[in-house]
Each structure stands twice: as structure tokens, then as C-alpha cells.
Amino acid sequence: MRAWAELLRVSALFTVPGDALAGAAALGARPNRSTALAVGASLCLYEAGMALNDWADREEDAIDRPHRPIPSGRISPPAALAAAGALTAAGLALAARAGRTSLAVGTALAATVWAYDLRLKHTAAGPAAMGAARALDVLLGATATATATATATGNVLRDRATSASAGTGAAGPAAVVTRGSGNTSSASAGGGGAAARTSPRTPSPGTVTGAGAVRVTGPWDGLRTALPSATLLGAHTVAVTTVSRREAQGGSTAAPLAALVATGVLGTLAGRPTDGAVAPGGLRAAPRRGTGALRSAVPALATAGPALAGALALVYTGTAGRPLLHAALNPSPPLTQRAVGGGIRAMIPLQAALAARGGAAGIALGVMGLVPLARTFARKVSPT
């Protein structure tokens, strides 16, 4: 069992759930069942990549890391490859349960993982491929969440429209949007004449007006909305991967120094509030540009988002920056490996900062709750 824990690097697993949660937070939507499916898919695909990585590097590890599970003989190469295939299939099955768009993103993520491990790892495109995989992981969570939220909102709107047309809706105006007109018409419960004048149509998901409205335009719009958060996590991954290419031999000062600069820039960006962070009264506001976002009313805790994002960005910068500085000053293999480990652990506060800057302070604190678990498991199984 320990051999499989080392092969799959289970201590690094705690850096994965925050991707999907950060994607959901970027939309202003609460995590839902599809978000959980995206987290499960991410975990499976991440572990598939770990198993495939060791299978592909078995000859190299026999020289540089003979203690790894495959070169030491504790796990056979066919078993590792079979595990990678099974985990990939499981990840894609979970992504499919979250919707067609999520399956498309999950397929792209799986293809990127396999391409990296089998072809791109030792090329100049390697770090970019890893960064793309991490960014796609965030977008997987965003599209899954957006699909479920759009579907739920469409169901509510259809029920509202049906109630309004029948004159049996709840008291008070119920606003609906006619398809393609951009105009709204309202009907009051018990007001037969008003109901007769509205003739509401069943709106498409994403057309909601009135107090406490949620604007949902579908999974592709959710993908665009989450792209900034995905880009920041992808850029961090590129920096860490670049450093990891020399972790067994050491000797590179430029890579950890460049990663240190990148960490400072990313920390600054992650701590900045977004356009639609928090509106007066503690409500999520839609972005000033574009039509795509999921916006829902959130508790007053959301007002703490910007301050919490700044604090978590500092935690991220310290977690990744300190070991990178040591590796830049002394690029020995042990310090370079510590820098890579620090960069992996720094994923969690970065994910939390991105969730907080989107107004999801509760999600951010939940993600940070994974830090003690990651540290505990890292003492037993190395994340690198």
C-alpha cells in the first residue's frame, strides 16, 4: 500500500480540489453536485498523471531515483500503466456525469496529461503543458458548476412562467424575460387580468431579472469567466515545473530565481479584487463588461473576500517564495527539491486567494483547511 501511495504521491492530492472550487467561486456560484463530480474527475486524472509519469520515467528513475516504486521493484511497470488507464477512464466518466461541456474540458485535460508524460515532459513545451493542465482543471470545475446552475435556474424560470400564466403564482410580481425581446413583463398572483396580459414564454437558462437575480448563460460563458483564475494557477504551475526539471541534479540558479519573481507577480494579482467581487449590501455584482457570469446573493461573509484574498496571497507568496529564494542562493538538489515541494503546497493558498477574491470567503477558508492534511501526509510521502 505504501508503494502505491508513493507512486500516486497522495500528499499532493490535497492541492487538487481547490482548482474546481476556485473555478466555481470565479462564477459567483455556490458549489453543487456537478462541482463535486468535477473534483472527483480532477483527482482521478491527477493520479492518472502521477502513475503514468513514473511509468514513462522508469528508466531515468532507475539512475536518479532508484528508491521510487517502479525501479525498486515494488510496483511493476504494467501495473502502473494499467492504473493510469483506469484512473483516466474513471475521471472522464465523472466529467461526463457533469455535462457535455465538462466532458469536453475533461477530455482536453486528459489528453494534455498523457501528452506531457509521454512526449512533452523533456521538451521545451513541458512546463507550458503542465500549466495548461492545471488551467484546464480550474475550467473543468467552472463548466461543471455553470451547467448545473444554468439547468436549475432554467427549471425555476419555467415553473415561475407556468405559475404566472395560470394566475397561481406566489404573491408579488414575478418577472420573466421574453426570448429575444429584451423586455420584461410581470404577473401577480390572483390577478387574472394581469396574467392574461403577460403571455410569458418559457425563458432560456440565463435570463433572470428582478431582485436577487442570478445571471446564467451556460457552461461556455462560465469557462470565459473563470479564465483569469485558471491563467494564474496555470502560470504558477509553469514556474514550479520549470524548477522541477533540475530537482534531481540541481545546479540551476536562473529557474528558481525566475520562479521567485513570478511568485511575487502572481501573489499581487491574486490579492486584487475582481470587477464583480462584492456589491453594496454584500451581494455579488455582475462584471462591468460582458454578459457572462453567474451571480448569486451571498452572505455578509463575502464582504471579507477582498481582505481575505490579500492575506491569503501573502501566505501563498511566503509558502512558495521562501524555498525558492534558498534554492536560488544554493541550487543543490535537496534545496531545489524543497523549492518544488513548496511550490506544490503553495497551490492551496493560491486557490484559496482566488476563491476569496471572487467573494467566496467560506470556500477559501475551506480550501485552506486542506493545508494541515497536506503537511501531515507530506511527512510520510513526498509530493515530488
pTM, rounded to two decimals: 0.79
- Nearest 5°: phi and psi at 304? -85, -5
Exposure of 193 by Cβ count < 10 A (0-12 exposed, 13-18 middle, 19+ buried)?
exposed
Neighbours of 162 (CB within 10 A): 13
Average pLDDT, the chain: 81
Per the CB < 8 A criterion, the answer to whether 139 and 21 are in contact is: no
- Per residue in 200-237, pLDDT tens? 444 444 433 333 334 445 777 778 899 999 999 999 99
**Band of pLDDT at residue 185, cut at 50, 70 and 90:** very low
- Rounded CA separation 187/164 (Å): 6
- Rounded percentage of the chain residues whose pLDDT exceeds 90: 60
Element spanning 34, H or E: helix 33-56
pLDDT at 272: 87
- Per residue in 40-88, pLDDT tens? 999 999 999 999 999 999 999 999 889 999 999 999 999 999 999 999 9
- Residues facing residue 185 across a β-bridge: 176
What does the angle CA 215 – CA 217 – CA 222 come to, to the nearest 5 degrees?
A: 95
- Residue 60, CB-side half-sphere exposure with 13 Å CA sphere: 10
- Rounded percentage of the chain residues whose pLDDT exceeds 70: 75
- Per residue in 241-294, pLDDT tens? 999 988 877 778 999 999 999 999 999 999 987 754 433 323 344 443 433 444
344 has a pLDDT exceeding 90: yes
Neighbours of 172 (CB within 10 A): 10
Q: Which residues contact 136 (CB under 8 A, 6 or more apart)?
A: 105, 108, 109, 112, 230
Minimum mean pLDDT among 107-121, 204-218, 261-275, 331-345: which range?
204-218
pLDDT at 227: 95
- Rounded CA separation 211/276 (Å): 17
pLDDT at 29: 85
pLDDT at 378: 85
- Nearest 5°: phi and psi at 255? -65, -50
